[in-house]
Amino acid sequence: MPTDFGTLAAFARRATGPCEVVADHSWDHGGAVVLELAGEGGRWFAKAPAKRHHFEQETHAYRHWLFNLDGLAPSLVATDDELAALLVTAVPGRLALDVTDDAVHRQLGALARRLHDGAPPATDAGYLDRVAAGLDRWTAPARALLEPREIDFAHAVMADLRELGPVEVVPTHGDLTLRNAVLDDDGTLRLIDFARTELRVPAHDLARLRTRDLDQGTDLLDAVLDGYGRALTSTEWRLLDGLCAIDALSTVAWSHQVGDRPFEELGRRTLRSLVDGAR
C-alpha cells in the first residue's frame, strides 16, 4: 500500500485530473490511509487499507454486490492493484454517527436489506468454523483482560451456535453502524466503507446495532428491522445473540491492542451485560 500521502494523491490525480487533498481521514490506529480530494470534476476519497484483503473485499463489493445501492453508496472510480488502493466518489452529507432518529434507522435497515439481496443466499458449511477460529484467535489476548466467566460464556455461546450446522450467507457490510453512513440535507442516508464486506449470515450486520441498544437501553434495532422489511427467524435471533457475545470479546482484545479505550469499555460492558442476563 502507499506509504505516503503523495503516492495516494498521485494515484487519484491519474484518474480524476487536477485535484487537491482537502482532508486527511486516515485511521488513528493505522487501519487505512484515507484522503478526501476535490477538483473541478467533483469530490473523491482515495483509500489504501493496511491489509490487502480489505482492498480486495471492497473492490469486489463495488464490482459485484452493490448494484442494489445505486445512488445510495459511493461509486468506484479507479483501483490500483499494485498500490492496493481505490478511488470512490464522495456522497453528499455528513456522518450520521450520533443520529438517534427512528426514520434514519429504518433507512439503515432498508440499506442493509438491499446489500444482503446483492447476491442469492448460499449455504456455507464452514462459516461457523471460521467464526470459532476467530474467537480462538482473540481469546488468548482477552484472557488477560476479562474474567474467566466471561471467556467461558463466549465459548459456550460458540458451542451452541456450532450445533446449527451449515448456514445461509449473503453479502454483508461487516461494520454496519451509523459511523459508516452519511446523511444528506434532504434526510437521505447512504452507506460508505465496504472494506469488510464479505459473505456472512445477515445477523452479523445487526450485532453492533444490538450491542448499542444493550449498552444505551434503546430499542433502535426495532426501527432497523422495520426498515429491513422482514422479521428475523428464531435461528437468526440465536445467531444474533451469539455473535454479539463473540464480537464483544474480540472488541475488547482488539481495542486494547490499538489503544481505543472507549471501544474496549463498550465491549466489556456488552459482554458483562450478556453474561449477567444469561444467569
Q: Hey, where are the domains in the chain? A: 5-90, 95-277
3-state secondary structure of 257: helix
Q: Are 108 and 24 in contact (CB under 8 A)?
A: no
> What distance in Å separates the CA atoms of residue 262 and residue 145, rounded to the nearest whole number?
14
Burial class (CB in 10 A: 0-12, 13-18, 19+), 81: exposed
Q: Are 65 and 118 in contact (CB under 8 A)?
A: yes
Record the pTM: 0.93
Residues with Cβ < 8 Å from 1, sequence gap 6 or more? 33, 48, 49, 50, 52, 55, 83, 84, 85
> What distance in Å separates the CA atoms of residue 158 and residue 199, rounded to the nearest whole number?
19
Closest CA to 221 of 241, 235, 201: 241
Predicted confidence at residue 153, as pLDDT, reads 97
> What distance in Å separates the CA atoms of residue 228 and residue 11, rounded to the nearest whole number?
38
> What distance in Å separates the CA atoms of residue 145 and residue 267, rounded to the nearest whole number?
11
Residue type, 116: H
| Mutual angle of helices 234-258 and 261-277, in 10-degree steps | 140
Homologous superfamily in CATH for domain 95-277: Aminoglycoside phosphotransferase (APH), C-terminal lobe (3.90.1200.10)
Which is it for strands 20-24 and 32-39: parallel, antiparallel or unpaired? Answer: antiparallel
Closest CA to 116 of 175, 68, 56, 60: 68
Closest CA to 41 of 61, 68, 12, 66: 12
> What distance in Å separates the CA atoms of residue 26 and residue 35, rounded to the nearest whole number?
7
pLDDT < 70 regions, the chain: 1-3, 29-30, 279
Predicted confidence at residue 1, as pLDDT, reads 42
Specify the CATH number of the domain 5-90: 3.30.200.20
Nine-digit cell at 173?
Answer: 457490510
Closest CA to 248 of 279, 277, 225, 219: 277
Residue 199 backbone phi and psi in degrees, to 5: -75, 120
Q: Are 68 and 117 in contact (CB under 8 A)?
A: yes
Largest CA distance in the chain: 61
CB neighbours (10 Å) of residue 151?
17
Predicted confidence at residue 50, as pLDDT, reads 87
